[in-house]
Amino acid sequence: MAAMLVSQPAPGRSLDGAPVVVVAPAGTLEGRTKNGVEGFAGIPYAAAPLGDLRWRAPRPAPRWAGARAASDFGNDCLQIRFDGDATPSTQPMSEDCLFLNLWRPARGRKLPVMVYIHGGAFVAGSAASPVIDGARLAGRGVVMVNFNYRLGRFGFFAHPAMTAEAGGAPDVNFAFLDMIAALKWVRDNVASFGGDPGNVTVFGESAGGAAVAFLMASPMAKGLFHKAIVQSGAGRQPYARLDLDRPGRISAQMAGFGFASGAGLASPDAAALRALPADAVQGQLAFWDLQPLKFTGPVIDGRTVIDDPDLRFAAGEAPRTPFMIGSTGAELSEEPFAPVMMDLIRAQASAGDMAILTAAYGDPPDRALIDHYFFTEGARGFARMMRGHGAPTWLYMFDHVAEALRTKRKGAGHASELAYLFGNLPADAGPGDRDVARLMGSYWTNFARTGNPNGAGLPDWPRFGDGDPLLLVRDGTAGAARDHDTARLDAVERAMAARRARESVR
């Protein structure tokens, strides 16, 4: 573990091609040009959150003299990597990880800007993964940006000592503050790269998709983007509050207290907490071990996060920006850990909730309940809320299974759309796979350009309205569908509403 904590540049993934220099307000950058796309990697968008800057809002990155080399990707943030990650990375890891990457066409002005937020349950993930390399998407005529943000307890942390230090109003959601800092960097610098700071689309998948919803609902991100895409990230679960326990959810301060006590700090001050070794803070927190008594993830702090995103959306407290949202056909239901997810549903649901669900899904329930409960119903619900408040809205279902996997899978798994969207397909991709990549890239960049995913040569994607129309991507093509799994999703919606009524703390 210690080897991953070294805070210094180390060999990792790099861009190749001919040098290209851009002078931006942040400083002069030397990137690389290849196949008509210019790439710039490892750009610091904030100061390294080390030492006294740990668990503080991001500070401005130090200025540099001359041209900064921008061909090497920066460190990944500290995490425990896991087998089966759809967007794997082998970059060195460090607390010094607040870097962004940018790709642009070699020629272009006032181009739409797309800013991607990676997933990973808020405890893993990397902007350096080859799967989400932005070169091919940029080649479609957009400026493409992605970035790292603090993960795990580095990204979300509260403790009574930190609250006392801050006079009762602590920063808690450092990951979201990093995202806001990255979006501000884009606002201030992207014009130098040919991008239009007045036409920014933020999009993300899984935790990155959830982050998009949080940012839409946060007054601190107001005006930093103009369109939004949530991919497999819309949920209705209640999040932790700073200093108040709620049924089934420990408060953020109590989680921080539990972590510190376990690390041998029963009554620390803020300085003692910041002096903990990085490996102790990381503490083996992982996708498969989220340590619910010692880590909460996003926190309702009344500042960065005002309330649960679904409640903010329902109240009309999200901007009426063009909005796209969806999920995959078999998010988690075909994974080896699917029984664990079904047990989690049973643990969250009351007897009455389960009666509603088993009436629709059978007893024992069809595993599709896992996908619908955690992803699909949320996507439909957020689409309905945005439509109800007048935002142009589009809903999709990605259920294309790679041709090489069709003997092993029936439906498209979680994050499986990313290789198609970014155009980074494996060598064994078939012609139908490449057709889907063309469709996905076109829809997403059209949406970034105009706020409408439709365009010449594409199957029509109906705007969301009565009958819950969506775009269904499957078997190498796409087409409109209506009333997709309506009865089952209605049952999930009723069960979720009952759970919300029990668990809400006002």
> Cβ of 32: how many Cβ atoms within 10 Å?
19
**Under 8 Å between Cβ of 453 and 394:** yes
Helix (H) or strand (E) holding 41: strand 37-44
Alpha-carbon span 73 to 331, nearest angstrom: 30
The residue written with tokens 């497999």 in the block is 232
Backbone angles phi, psi at 199, to 5 degrees: -140, 75
Contacts of 310 (CB under 8 A, 6+ apart): 234, 235, 236, 378, 381, 382, 385
What single string gives the DSSP state of each residue in 145-195? EEE----HHHHB---HHHHHHTTT----BHHHHHHHHHHHHHHHHGGGGTE
Kindly report each contact of residues 129-132 with a partner whose C-beta sits within 8 Å and lies 24 or more positions away, as own/partner. Answer: 129/87, 129/88, 129/89, 130/13, 130/424, 131/86, 131/87, 131/88, 131/418, 131/419, 131/422, 131/424, 132/87, 132/418, 132/422, 132/424
Three-state secondary structure of 20-33: EEEEECCEEEEEEE
Could you list the beta-strand ranges (E) of 61-136: 67-69, 99-105, 111-117
What are the residue numbers of the active site? 206, 331, 414
